[in-house]
Structure 1
Amino acid sequence: MNHQRALVLFAHGARAASWAAPFERLRDLTQAREPQVRVELAFLELMSPRLPELVASLTAGGVNDITVVPVFLGQGGHVLRDLPLMLDELRLQYPQAAIKVVEAAGENPAVLKALSDYCVSALL
């Protein structure tokens, strides 16, 4: 059995392609720190790949351990409602894959501290 792992950074998406640039940098920084794990971006809407497309591609490539990190500052309707529904469907479609999700990035104390540090540094 293949035990490849993937870390999926899940963002909202936007019409402007330039909007994805910080997420692409985050992906690249994360990939450099975890070279043995596939680090990918997926979007809820307006950009590609969408999460279902990416999970299909990952599982077709033998990935069976997928962690989804919502790169959202808060847990609004997309994280609380849309994402769980999407994950339920994906788990039914791909029972061979363990798909887990962690809290929204903005809900994590370390992320909030980093943002606060940045905000305070603006005063200097």
Structure 2
Amino acid sequence: MKQGLILFAHGARDPRWAQPFERVAARVQDLQPDLTVSLAYLEFLAPDLVAAGQALAQAGCREVAVLPLFLGAGGHVRKDLPAKVEALQQAHPDVRWVLRPAAGESPQLVEALAQIAVATMAPTDEQDDQEHA
């Protein structure tokens, strides 16, 4: 069964905002070459969830996971997104649509962010130079 993954992000007016998400999608594709990966955005950027879902359904995916790339599960993740996934299910009943928890709820992401925070407190060469001056 052909599988797809939609990485769902908020979106922003500045298209440069999407670059980290594009790198995540590319890395996922590298790690899972048989998986069809798409980015989708809530607003400002294309494609939106419906367009991304339609493209995966047309590409022959029969199971599509939707992973919200949000740190927390606020209104968009708890209310807006389930309604959009349900609309995709109605439009493409031959596809199994699976909404996953927000990435920010993952223990691995919490750990990674904690490690990044700790690393920011490590002295830099510039700080060492100032302390020894």
Is the structural similarity TM-score above 0.5? yes
Which aligned segments of 4 or more residues in structure 1 are displaced greater than 6 angstroms?
A: none
Aligned position for 1:92: 90
Structure with higher Rg: it is 2
The size of the alignment, in residue pairs, is 122
Question: Which residue identity is paired with 2:95?
Answer: A
Aligned position for 2:73: 75
Question: Which residue identity is paired with 1:69?
Answer: L
- Give the Å deviation of 1:64: 1.1
Question: Which residue identity is paired with 1:94?
Answer: H
Question: Which residue identity is paired with 2:85?
Answer: L
1:103-114 matched pairs, under 5 angstroms: 103-114=101-112
Contact 2:40/2:47 (8 A) holds in 1? yes
- Give the Å deviation of 1:85: 0.6
Aligned position for 1:19: 17
Q: Which residue, out of 50, 57, 60, partners 1:59?
A: 57
Distance 1:87 1:54 in 2: 11
Distance 2:34 2:2 in 1: 9
CA RMSD of aligned residues (A): 0.7
Gapped regions of structure 2 (runs ≥ 5): 123-133
- Give the Å deviation of 1:58: 1.1
- Give the Å deviation of 1:18: 0.3
Contact 2:11/2:45 (8 A) holds in 1? yes
Distance 2:85 2:104 in 1: 20
Aligned position for 2:28: 30
- Give the Å deviation of 1:16: 0.3
Q: Deviations over 1:23-51 (max 9, x none)?
A: 00011111100001011101111110000
Contact 2:36/2:56 (8 A) holds in 1? no
Distance 1:71 1:77 in 2: 14
Question: Which residue identity is paired with 1:77?
Answer: G
Gapped regions of structure 1 (runs ≥ 5): none
Distance 2:114 2:8 in 1: 22
- Give the Å deviation of 1:113: 0.6
